[in-house]
Amino acid sequence: MPELPEVETIRRRLAPLVQGRVLRAIEVLDPRWCEPLHPEALSGALVERRLEALDRRGKYLVWEARDEVFLLMHLRMTGTVLYDAPPLTPYVRVRMTLDDGHRLSLCDPRRFGTGELALDRSALDAFLRARLGVEPLGPGFTSDHLLTMTRGRRLPIKAFLLDQRRIAGVGNIYANEALFRARIHPLRETGKLKRNQVAALRDAVVGALSAGIDAGGASIDDFRHPDGVKGAFQNEFLVHGRDGRPCLVCGATVVKLVVAGRGTYACERCQTRPRRARRAGGGGGPRQRA
Ligand SMILES: [Zn+2]
């Protein structure tokens, strides 16, 4: 569930607390977290190194330790990183101790999160390049670039937005919010969007992600800030999770569909359903994976 704004919220809150600190210990309580790497190999590469930076790419938290040793942490469904977690905090999979005595705990009830190492910057770049497309809050995410990426693509635009190899960091919530902001139906064929729609979508993706970051992310279930506080963006959703309730723009009832296997929310008055999908009936269109 943590998407770009949630990971970025964790990064911004943790960075000033960890940058410049030396990692004294890293205990992997659940070895599955860093498979196929052995926990001792992981801790051997990181312990006693100074943390130079805490960065983010897409939904990855990138811990840079001295001499270009990188820990790539992906939080997947339910991961969160707590700073000085209270005793007996459940679901701790990894614990890191800093030289100032403070501790970081990776809590992950569903245990889908992962930890991987990259042992120099070119290995890091290759790792990220193989998995992630353009960074939506970076300078490369222009409407011209998005237009080029969308040409010839026949999948529904919702599925396109969820593909991390195209745009990194957008997940289900922010894809729903961005399509509503851009007034584009989630089932619309990606390659058929007009230039002005693509420009609106680019701005809507940036707008939805930025609003999420400004609100400290969304806490629907497990997401917490490093100090245990919940994000507030769930109170600001324009369309996500609002099925059966009136559209905030026009008052029509928000509907729930399934697109790319994910719960998808739309106002079909503001976001006109494409003709072919209309003929196919009310359901939700093709259940294809992004
Ligand atoms: Zn509406």
Does residue 64 have an active-site annotation? no
Who contacts 90 (Cβ-Cβ below 8 Å, separation ≥6)?
107, 109
Does residue 245 have an active-site annotation? no
Question: How many angstroms is it from 251 CA to the middle of ligand 1?
Answer: 6
Position 278 scores a pLDDT of 67
Adjacency order of strands within the sheet including 69-74: 51-57, 60-65, 69-74, 114-118
Which member of 11, 56, 158, 262 is catalytic? 262
Adjacency order of strands within the sheet including 92-98: 23-28, 92-98, 103-107, 80-83
Is residue 54 a contact partner of residue 18, using CB atoms and an 8 Å limit? yes
Q: What are phi and psi of 80, to 5 degrees?
A: -150, 155
Position 279 scores a pLDDT of 57
Residue 8's Cβ-side half-sphere holds a number of Cα atoms within 13 Å equal to: 21
Closest CA to 221 of 80, 30, 56: 80
Does residue 262 have an active-site annotation? yes
Which member of 11, 57, 59, 273 is catalytic? 59
Does residue 59 have an active-site annotation? yes
Closest CA to 243 of 157, 159, 176: 176
State the DSSP code for 253. B
Q: At what angle do helices 172-182 and 195-214 cross, to 10 degrees?
A: 130
Angstrom distance (rounded) from CA 64 to CA 81: 16
pLDDT in tens, the chain (290 residues): 799 999 999 999 999 999 999 999 999 999 999 999 999 999 999 999 999 999 999 999 999 999 999 999 999 999 999 999 999 999 999 999 999 999 999 999 999 999 999 999 999 999 999 999 999 999 999 999 999 999 999 999 999 999 999 999 999 999 999 999 999 999 999 999 999 999 999 999 999 999 999 999 999 878 999 999 999 999 999 999 999 999 999 999 999 999 999 999 999 999 999 987 765 544 444 444 43
Which member of 2, 5, 156, 186 is catalytic? 2
Is residue 137 a contact partner of residue 210, using CB atoms and an 8 Å limit? yes
Which member of 3, 6, 64, 177 is catalytic? 3
